[in-house]
Amino acid sequence: MNKEKSDITGVIVPVVTPLTESGAVDADGLRTQVRRCIDANVNAVFVGGSAGSGPLLLDEQWEEAARIVFEEANGKLRALIGIIATSTARALKQIEVSRRIGYDTIVVTPTFYIALQRDEEMLAHFKACREATDQDLIIYNIPSCTGSQISVSAVRTMCEAGWAVAIKESSGDPAYFRQLLAIGAETNVSVLQGNETDIAWSLEEGAAGIVPVCANYDPAMFVEIYQQSMRGGSGQLAEGQARINALREVLLVGDHNWIAGITWGLHTLGIGSGVPPRPLQVVGEDRKALISSLAAQDQKLAG
């Protein structure tokens, strides 16, 4: 069991990996994105996650993005790296690369494609990752992508054994999240909300931090909302949640993949080509216009 309370808290931005039109990593765009996060005073950045298209990148692109983010964040804010792989062997290779780069914190999902069905499989994977490194480990539950949900009993086993410093929960299941909050309180493990529509009530009930995709577009807004939660006041949090939902409706909701939406949103800010990794498609013209209106509104407010 962890003796000290985890320091994984606050706003953690799961950085999008901007690409050029040819599909290469846009190094300048990625550096700009990390600097925007630093300027907004977020607590950490997370590279190679779902928003960062980690599993969609070539191995060399994944490593390139990881090196860029680490270089930009080093000494300025904490950097986390996603270990998202189809097998334990592949995950262990990613962990070794992340160690060589210098990351001190890894974010590990269950393996995917062949979805894990039993706690024994889940625990075997996380145990192997835990034993492979002395890096801090964050458990990442995202069943919409991995095809499996980490059971509450497996989470408890891992937390009581001291395997993890935090849990990133993105299932959108309030009852499950509340069970993780109870485990986190007992074991000093931070519980992070990764589902944007659940941010306000999660913070009110004790979530240590948030990992919002739309913070790529407006990191300062999410920092402001998180700081409001630290000061108390459910009314302000409710207003903040309404702002989050409105932004999410424009960027992530539509007939396109959500990664395509946030990718185009960053493009309107001058970051990346707006082209998501294949086979995902660029958002349609109507959605482009809607997303572009966000930038126009921001410029009007700034003026």
Cα–Cα distance list, 86 to 40, 56, 66, 94, 167 (Å): 34, 12, 19, 11, 20
* Nearest residue to 261 (alpha-carbon basis) of 240, 290, 241: 290
Contact (Cβ atoms closer than 8 angstroms) between residue 168 and residue 139: yes
pTM of the model: 0.95
The residues near 128 (Cβ < 8 Å, ≥ 6 apart) are 88, 91, 92
Residues 91 and 122: beta-carbon distance below 8 Å = no
pLDDT of residue 300: 45
Residue 45: enclosing H or E segment and its boundaries?
A: strand 44-47
| pLDDT tens over the chain, length 303 residues | 445 788 999 999 999 999 999 999 999 999 999 999 999 999 999 999 999 999 999 999 999 999 999 999 999 999 999 999 999 999 999 999 999 999 999 999 999 999 999 999 999 999 999 999 999 999 999 999 999 999 999 999 999 999 999 999 999 999 999 999 999 999 999 999 999 999 999 999 999 999 999 999 999 999 999 999 999 867 789 999 999 999 999 999 998 999 999 999 999 999 999 999 999 999 999 999 999 999 766 654 444
DSSP 169: E
- Give the number of residues written for the chain: 303
